[in-house]
């Protein structure tokens, strides 16, 4: 097989946060689980994650807890546990590394290059089934797997059958399946980008694939050309095993379906994002010096940011949270927001204990 021809697999854990709680707590299995909500007022807060049993009853991420309780009264609410999520994620990633080079895309996603195993006679579908079976039998984490010649096709193939699906696509199969679909199905195409393309008569992934790249660049900048490539099933097939270590900034953000005015809700989101980003820093062995909040006041409008540089770099969730909340209270308190996020920059190396294979244990 030529060097340019690769077999890339995307392993995407299903309802990961909720599945982690169900993994370690048998009483939560096969029940509608909602992660999130306020610890002090059970009517407030947002849904951070939910199990498929809850999704099947209309619960979705960023929905208000009040709405979720009305829609699914029997739902069981659990508080987020990032130590648990990262512990299970580390086990999953170490397992996947046994199968081939991996690129960690997020806490619950990774690309795996299984080309060498394919060349020695193991079909990618069999590898995918082995991954699903092992993760379910050992730690009760379900996953969907996409297989393709590059990362964009593998990523989008993993979205076709959830939960617990396995889908393999070549370029032609990708085009046949995805080109008739709306732009919202295209990885990397958010709501604002979709609306902008709609205003120029582009509604489907196929129409985007056929659009003139210079025209797309004129309305979307460099992102237009990238999305054009994605729409045509074109992307890198190189696995970057050092991807996270090279990040100059890390961040989390969320877009709301309606204007959010409530400062308590934003403060809770800032807390959650700060905890997740702190764990990412600790995983990378880094500390951050600058904390920023990112926001939009209109759905299709530009994004803005406010920053605070700390006296000393940190990977402590409480310090990051305090900085993010202080920025919000100073600049945005009570403002109507359609997007909010926390971003960390000026990253510095920090000493940390590296996970070794001796630490690897599937017991959750």
Query: What is the set of active-site residues?
Result: 109
Q: How far apart are CA 34 and CA 277, in angstroms?
A: 21
Cis peptide before 185 (omega within 30 of 0): no
Nearest to 10 by CA among 116, 120, 100: 100
Alpha helical stretches, state H, 146-297: 151-157, 171-178, 191-199, 205-210, 213-220, 222-231, 263-284
Cα R_g (the chain), whole angstroms: 21
Distance between CA atoms of 88 and 287, rounded to whole angstroms?
23
CB 93 within 8 A of CB 239: no
Quickly count: other Cβ atoms within 10 Å of residue 167's Cβ: 22
Q: How far apart are CA 144 and CA 352, in angstroms?
A: 32
Q: Convert 94-130 into a string of H (helix), E (strand) and C (coil).
A: HHHHCCCCEEEEECCEEEEECHHHHHCCCCHHHHHHH
DSSP letter string, 301-324: S--EEEEEEEEEEE--HHHHHHHH
Q: Tokens at residue 149, please?
A: 């010649």
Comparing C-alpha atoms, which of 87, 230, 75 is closest to residue 154?
A: 230
Length reported for the chain: 364
Return d(Cα 141, Cα 12) in angstroms, integer.
Answer: 10
Per the listing, tokens 């809700």 go with 265
């Amino acid at each position: 097989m030529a060097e340019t021809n690769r077999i890339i697999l995307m392993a995407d854990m299903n309802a990961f946060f909720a599945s982690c709680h169900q993994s370690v707590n048998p009483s939560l299995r096969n029940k509608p689980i909602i992660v999130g909500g306020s610890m002090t007022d059970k009517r407030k807060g947002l849904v951070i994650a939910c199990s498929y049993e809850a999704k099947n009853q209309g619960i979705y991420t960023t929905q208000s807890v009040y709405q979720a309780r009305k829609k699914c009264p029997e739902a069981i609410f659990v508080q987020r546990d990032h130590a648990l999520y990262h512990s299970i994620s580390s086990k999953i990633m170490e397992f996947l590394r046994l199968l081939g080079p991996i690129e960690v895309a997020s806490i619950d996603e990774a690309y795996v290059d299984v080309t060498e195993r394919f060349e020695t006679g193991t079909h990618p579908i069999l590898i995918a089934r082995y991954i699903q079976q092992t993760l379910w039998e050992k730690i009760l984490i379900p996953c969907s797997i996409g297989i393709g010649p590059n990362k964009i096709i593998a990523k989008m193939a993993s979205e076709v059958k959830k939960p617990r699906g396995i889908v393999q696509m070549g370029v032609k199969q990708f085009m046949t399946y995805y080109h008739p679909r709306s732009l919202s199905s295209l990885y990397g195409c958010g709501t604002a980008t979709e609306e902008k393309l709609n205003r120029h008569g582009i509604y489907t992934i196929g129409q985007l694939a056929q659009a003139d790249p210079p025209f797309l660049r004129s309305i979307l900048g460099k992102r237009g050309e990238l999305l054009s490539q994605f729409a045509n099933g074109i992307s890198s097939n190189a696995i970057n095993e050092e991807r996270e270590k090279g990040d100059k900034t890390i961040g989390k953000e969320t877009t709301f379906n309606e204007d959010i005015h409530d400062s308590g809700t934003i403060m809770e989101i800032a807390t959650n994002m700060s905890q997740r980003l702190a764990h990412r820093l600790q995983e990378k062995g880094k500390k951050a010096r600058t904390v920023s909040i990112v926001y939009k006041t209109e759905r299709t409008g530009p994004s803005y940011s406010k920053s605070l540089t700390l006296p000393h770099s940190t990977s402590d969730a409480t310090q990051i949270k305090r900085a993010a909340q202080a920025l919000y209270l100073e600049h945005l308190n009570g403002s109507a927001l359609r997007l909010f996020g926390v971003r960390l920059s000026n990253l510095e190396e920090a000493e940390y204990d590296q996970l070794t294979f001796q630490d690897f244990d599937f017991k959750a």
